[in-house]
Amino acid sequence: MSSDGSVRIAFSLQHPGFSMQVDLVLPGRGITALFGRSGSGKTSCLRVVAGLQAAQGVRVQVGDEAWQDDARGVRLPTHRRPLGYVFQEASLFPHLSVRDNLEYGMRRVAAAERRVEMAQAVQWLGLSALIDRRPEGLSGGERQRVAIGRALLASPRLLLMDEPLSALDLASRAAILPYLQRLHAELSIPVLYVSHAIDEVARLADHTVVLDAGRVVASGPTARVLNETGDLLPLGEENGVLIEAVVGLHDGAYHLSRLDFAGGHLWVTRVDIAVGGHVRARVLARDVSVALSPASDSSIANLLPARVLSMQEEGPDRVLLRLEADGGTPLLARITRRSRDQLGLAAGMAVIAQVKSVALAA
Amino acid sequence: MTPADVSAITLTLKLAGLTTVLLLLIGTPIAWWLAHTPSRLKSVVGAVVALPLVLPPTVLGFYLLLLMGPKGLVGQTTQALGIGLLPFTFAGLVVASVLYSMPFVVQPLRNAFEAIGSRPIEVAATLRAGPWDRFRSVVLPLARPGFITASILGFAHTVGEFGVILMIGGNIPERTRVLSVAIYDHVEAMEYTQAHWLAGGMVLFSFLVLLALHALNGKTRVL
Amino acid sequence: MTETMNRLLTGVVACVAALTMTVAKAEEVQVAVAANFAAPMERIAAEFAKDTGHKAVLSVGATGKFYAQIKNGAPFDVLLSADDETPAKLVAEGDGLADSRFTYAIGRLVLWSSKPGVVDAAGDVLKKGDFKHLAVANPKLAPYGAAAYDMLRKLGLLETLTPRFVTGENIAQTFQFVATGNAELGFVALSQVQIPGKPAEGSQWIVPASMHAPIKQDAVLLKKAAQNQAALALLKYLRGDTAGKIINSFGYER
């Protein structure tokens, strides 16, 4: 059927105290994030796709290959599914060297069907210095890079990644993210990426599926899903919007870059991307305040004319404002209830959104 | 040492070696099943395998004698198969030794398999390795200390086996007269010099076995 | 509450007093009995208690073990051995009283099969050799084994039959080999197959006593029990008619 290479995942799962119902069609390329709090069923979903976990009414179809279709009695065992699986902990084979770990899956794929060369994987993931070492001597981040390389060298048609960064410290995460972004650019296969970290999702995912208590609550392009369903997500302080922008110009003197998007622009610390390049900016609700008129005496450089769409109280003291900047770009602002009353804010009013900081996602 | 003692030693080593090989073949799937099954039968099977640990060897030997005898179920089966009766034969000793030393092989293997857990096996499955391939390329090397422990304990325990063999062996030179029976005969007949040679040798052997075990397995706890 | 306690205590004291008194009155003898003689000895001990009021406390086991235990201070008064060598040795070593030693029973060797029709009344089956395993007790350890070797040697069959021997470490184990049918036939003690009140099973040939040295089972009074009235009474009782009848009924001679 789906000659476009799309991935179809459907199954249901019944455990005492937990039930899961999933029916998804995901794009055949790019990274799809499975996002949700712990216990929402993200990992179960990957395990069912890999054939590591039993479920009912399973249907897993990757492109035109049916890996499992319970209705037709089709069920490939895990080792016959051309997938790559990166587990939360790197799970390298402790009895094998890094090279033997990398080659483990590769050797089991016929030479004609190999799509990733050893040299390529080593280069993408920066493994050349590690190749002759033993797993026990590697740092957490290095191990995870080897595990990713090992999965890729098995020439998967679908790459499954189960919170590959969650076991790592902040520095290791920061170090490994660029490798993942590079993979994103180089790989033509779809990736299912489980995460509960919004920054990873915002940075890496093209498509996002939000799971909550075993149900799919949203599925679509990442920016849309995050912006539209933000309230549903377990984000708290991380609530915000994702803005797709292009680099408008660089200001060498002040070391700044201007990001242009529909209806405005944002100044950010100079980015390493050429003018015209695409970039994702994440603007958190807690970093946005509003004023009724443009203040000329503020240090905040990013002022965006916007309109109040709705207001939602968050606890006794705070209010989340849903704004729409000119050109339709959504924004979230978190202010105090007192400020709302002092400004006399109401739905439909024109305001100036003051953006204190912007995080670059890609 | 008399030629009879030498033949008892050779026979003992042959018995222990063959028993160990058979136990590794039989014990591995049992230990694997015990380590991974969610079945409720697990505790029953585990208890049956561990029985020789708590039963006096003479009890096991007595029931084997009955079972493998012409009136016993096993005996009738072996006769129907044209193998004849097992008591007083080397094959009978092997069967008894396999049962008797079973827990000493199954337990270390089961511990080793449980320590490996299911993750490395799942990883191997996602890397295209089929069940046998996974066992050979992941489980075997990771469970190596368990296999070493199991082999040495199974071998040593069979060498030291006495009560069961006494019950079903018949003390036939070069067929069922093993070292421990030879020692017993020497002691009972008050031939202490010969007894010392064999018994002292056995003590030394057991010590060396345990020493080797600790040296080979290093940090891993054996018993 | 305290009253109940008091009453209870008085009761306990009375009981203990009564018990110690009975023990003091009837004397006791600790007897080490060879395993093959356990069944007849139980009956003899019962009669002994009835007739004399003394109590014989029996410990059943292997003679060799008893020897080692006696040498190491075991509290036995009388040893009823399975052979005649051990009591002689104990006397020679000063642990037994020389003039107390006597043969209380003579064992009879029997060629037995648990199946009817296997052993003929003349023992010709040995010459025909129509069997796979012949169970014999270890001649070094068991008098019945030594007797069987003795007899086969006299018949000139020892050499030819040795390859078919399965050796029991004692006469009880030898019996087990035959009883379970694993050995078609074997040399056992008549006392093992001739049990009063039980029908005879299988087939047997009682080996004529002339064909082997007598299997003497000797009793000896141990030194520390020289003054034990119950022990002296038991040894006397063993020579008497009541014991003699029981001994004979179990397939022993005297």
- Inter-chain residue contact B123 with A108, CB threshold 8 Å: no
- Inter-chain residue contact C169 with B184, CB threshold 8 Å: yes
Q: Calculate mean pLDDT across residues C15-32.
A: 63
Residue A165 lies in a domain: yes
Using the Cβ of C114 and the Cβ atoms of chain B, whether some distance falls under 8 Å is answered with no
**Strands ordered across the beta sheet of A74-75:** A74-75, A65-69, A56-62, A7-15, A18-26, A215-221, A207-212, A31-35, A191-195, A158-162, A83-86
Quick check: B183 and B137 in contact, CB under 8 A?
Answer: no
pLDDT for C243 beyond 80 = yes
Of B120, B129, B142, the CB nearest to A79: B129
Q: What pLDDT, on the 0 to 100 scale, is given for residue A297?
A: 75
Assigned architecture for domain C109-206: 3-Layer(aba) Sandwich (3.40)
Q: Which tens digit of pLDDT belongs to each residue from A143-171?
A: 999 999 999 999 999 999 999 888 777 77
Residues of A in contact with B127 (CB under 8 A): 79, 104-105, 108, 150-151, 154
- Domain range spanning residue A302? 240-245+278-360
Shortest Cα distance from B123 to chain A (angstroms)?
7
Q: Which of residues A173, A204, A235 is at a domain's end? A: A235
Residue A93 lies in a domain: yes
- Long-range CB pairs of B185-189, under 8 A, 24+ apart, other chains included: B185/C138, B185/C140, B185/C141, B185/C169, B188/C64, B188/C138, B188/C140, B188/C141, B188/C169, B189/C140, B189/C141
- Inter-chain residue contact B123 with A95, CB threshold 8 Å: no
Q: Which tens digit of pLDDT belongs to each residue from B35-78?
A: 999 999 999 999 999 999 999 888 999 899 999 998 899 999 99
- Inter-chain residue contact B122 with A78, CB threshold 8 Å: yes
Q: How far apart are CA A61 and CA A24, in angstroms?
A: 11
Q: How far apart are CA B126 and CA A330, in angstroms?
A: 41
Q: CATH assignment of B3-217?
A: 1.10.3720.10
Q: Which of residues A175, A201, A235 is at a domain's end? A: A235
Q: Which tens digit of pLDDT belongs to each residue from C112-144?
A: 999 999 999 888 999 998 899 999 999 988 899
Q: How far apart are CA A32 and CA A9, in angstroms?
A: 13
Q: Give the mutation candidate from B128, B134, B135 for the A interface (greatest A CB count, under 10 A).
A: B128
Q: What pLDDT, on the 0 to 100 scale, is given for residue A231?
A: 60
Q: What pLDDT, on the 0 to 100 scale, is given for residue C23?
A: 43
Q: Which tens digit of pLDDT belongs to each residue from A251-267?
A: 888 888 899 988 788 88
- Long-range CB pairs of A317-320, under 8 A, 24+ apart, other chains included: A320/A231, A320/A239, A320/A285
- Inter-chain residue contact C140 with B88, CB threshold 8 Å: no
Residue A117 lies in a domain: yes
The pTM of the full predicted model, rounded to 2 decimals, is 0.76
pLDDT for B165 beyond 70 = yes
Same domain, yes or no, for A155 and A88?
A: yes
Q: Which of residues A235, A254, A289 is at a domain's end? A: A235
Q: What pLDDT, on the 0 to 100 scale, is given for residue B218?
A: 63
Using the Cβ of A48 and the Cβ atoms of chain B, whether some distance falls under 8 Å is answered with no
Residue A29 belongs to a domain with what CATH number? 3.40.50.300
Assigned architecture for domain C2-106+215-249: 3-Layer(aba) Sandwich (3.40)
- Inter-chain residue contact C177 with B188, CB threshold 8 Å: no
Residue B103 — very low, low, confident or very high, per pLDDT cuts 50/70/90?
Answer: very high
A69 burial via Cβ count (<10 Å: 0-12, 13-18, 19+):
middle
Q: Calculate mean pLDDT across residues B119-141.
A: 96
- Whether there are 3 or more C-beta pairs closer than 8 Å between A and B is yes
Using the Cβ of A149 and the Cβ atoms of chain B, whether some distance falls under 8 Å is answered with no
Residues of B in contact with A84 (CB under 8 A): 126
Count the Cβ atoms, other than its own, within 10 Å of residue A243: 24
Quick check: C166 and B172 in contact, CB under 8 A?
Answer: yes
Q: Which residue of C has its CA nearest to B181?
A: C169
Between the CA atoms of B76, B81, B83 and B87, what dihedral angle is there, to the nearest 10 degrees?
A: -20
Residue A288 lies in a domain: yes
Residue C24 — very low, low, confident or very high, per pLDDT cuts 50/70/90?
Answer: very low
Q: Which residue of A has its CA nearest to B134?
A: A79
Of B65, B75, B172, the CB nearest to C176: B65
Closest CA to B182 of B161, B153, B156: B161
Half-sphere exposure at residue A236, Cβ-oriented, CA atoms within 13 angstroms:
5
Q: What pLDDT, on the 0 to 100 scale, is given for residue C9?
A: 56
- Inter-chain residue contact B128 with A50, CB threshold 8 Å: no
Residue A228 lies in a domain: yes
Shortest Cα distance from B118 to chain A (angstroms)?
11
Count of pairs with CB atoms under 8 A, one residue in A, one in B = 60
Quick check: C31 and C61 in contact, CB under 8 A?
Answer: no
Q: Which tens digit of pLDDT belongs to each residue from B104-114?
A: 999 999 999 99
Residue B172 — very low, low, confident or very high, per pLDDT cuts 50/70/90?
Answer: confident
**Strands ordered across the beta sheet of A278-284:** A264-269, A256-261, A240-251, A278-284, A359-360
Token pair of B63 as six digits: 């029931």
Residue A255 lies in a domain: no
- Inter-chain residue contact B185 with C141, CB threshold 8 Å: yes
Does the ipTM surpass 0.85?
no
Q: What pLDDT, on the 0 to 100 scale, is given for residue C61?
A: 85
Residue A349 belongs to a domain with what CATH number? 2.40.50.100
Q: What pLDDT, on the 0 to 100 scale, is given for residue C5?
A: 55
Residue B222 — very low, low, confident or very high, per pLDDT cuts 50/70/90?
Answer: very low
Domain count across chain A: 2
Residue C232 — very low, low, confident or very high, per pLDDT cuts 50/70/90?
Answer: very high
Q: Give the H or E element holding residue A159.
A: strand A158-162
Shortest Cα distance from C103 to chain B (angstroms)?
23
Residue A79 lies in a domain: yes
Please determine whether the domains at C2-106+215-249 and C109-206 fall in the same fold group of CATH.
Answer: yes
Q: Which tens digit of pLDDT belongs to each residue from C44-97?
A: 999 999 999 999 999 998 888 899 889 888 889 999 999 999 999 999 999 999
- The residue extents of the domains of chain C are 2-106+215-249, 109-206
* Percent residues over pLDDT 90 in chain C: 70
Shortest Cα distance from C158 to chain B (angstroms)?
15
- Inter-chain residue contact B124 with A104, CB threshold 8 Å: yes
- Subunits close to A (at least 3 CB pairs below 8 A): B
Kindly list the averaged pLDDT for each block of 10 residues, start to end, along chain A of length 362.
76 90 92 88 94 95 94 96 93 95 95 89 90 93 93 94 85 79 81 87 88 90 78 66 87 89 85 84 87 79 88 85 86 90 89 84 61
